[in-house]
């Protein structure tokens, strides 16, 4: 996960290279590594590293955000990036974003 985070940070090195998807994925990785202020979708704060149950709940929250066409509070691509990164971290997919 550290490597995936570092590669994403390097690829999105400046504001002109960042996309909403890459911002979401990076926020997901950083939070999973215990470096975020709060969960990227829900804002939940944890002591230390979030456990798999909390990570999975955040994947679920990203799914809800993606499905909600009306009350979207964050850009869809950001939610997709969070979902893709955390789904990989949780082992729900073998495809590393």
What does the pLDDT look like over 13-42, one tens digit per residue? 666 678 899 999 999 999 999 998 899 999
pLDDT tens digits for range 31-89: 999 998 899 999 999 988 999 999 999 999 999 999 987 777 789 999 999 999 999 99
pTM of the model: 0.85
Q: Looking at the predicted structure, is the pLDDT value of residue 9 above 80? A: no
CB-based contact 37:45 (threshold 8 Å)? yes
Burial class of 3 by CB neighbour count within 10 A (0 to 12, 13 to 18, 19+): exposed
CB-based contact 4:97 (threshold 8 Å)? yes
Query: Which DSSP category does 49 fall into?
Result: S
């Amino acid at each position: 996960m550290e490597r995936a985070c570092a590669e994403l940070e390097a690829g999105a090195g400046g504001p002109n290279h960042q996309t909403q998807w890459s911002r979401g994925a990076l926020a997901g990785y950083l939070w999973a590594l215990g470096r975020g202020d709060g969960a990227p979708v829900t804002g939940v704060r944890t002591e230390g590293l979030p456990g798999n149950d909390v990570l999975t709940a955040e994947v679920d929250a990203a799914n809800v955000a993606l499905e909600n066409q009306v009350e979207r509070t964050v850009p869809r691509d950001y939610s997709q990036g969070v979902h893709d990164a955390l789904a990989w971290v949780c082992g729900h997919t073998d495809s590393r974003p």
